[in-house]
Amino acid sequence: MKLIIKESKRNKVVTKWLNKYYNNLFIKEYPRWGVMDFFTTDEPKSKVFVYESGVLLIINPNLIDELNNIFNVDEDDLNDIFIPFMKNNYNLKVILVKYY
């Protein structure tokens, strides 16, 4: 059986999942360079995102695999999901989101 889910519905599901697992990341700022690194709070910490000049790079291979394999999110869909997610959870203005 094949299910057809609209993009907007999928984006809501992905955002809910992100809120559950990625809404409380540890942030390390480098103000001199305008860079922010986002790490998991688990031990050992692993880097999830890098933010620089309005660009958010998703660098965690586990997150990339989950977005691709579970939710079928490709790079074209990232802006619609992560721009509001980062604004709501980290009050961060993101212009572009990419996989690293």
Q: How high is the mean pLDDT of the chain? A: 93
Q: Sorting pLDDT into bands at 50, 70 and 90, what band is 2?
A: low
Whole-prediction pTM value? 0.90
Which helix (DSSP H) or strand (DSSP E) does residue 16 occupy?
Answer: helix 7-21
CA 9 to chain centre: 17
- Report whether pLDDT(4) > 80: no
Domain positions in the chain:
39-100
Q: What is the pLDDT of residue 44?
A: 86
Helix, strand or coil for residue 72? coil
Query: What average pLDDT does the segment 23-46 reach?
Result: 93
Helix axes 78-90, 7-21, angle to 10 degrees: 40
The DSSP string of 25-49 is: -EEEEETTTTEEEEE-SSSS--EEE
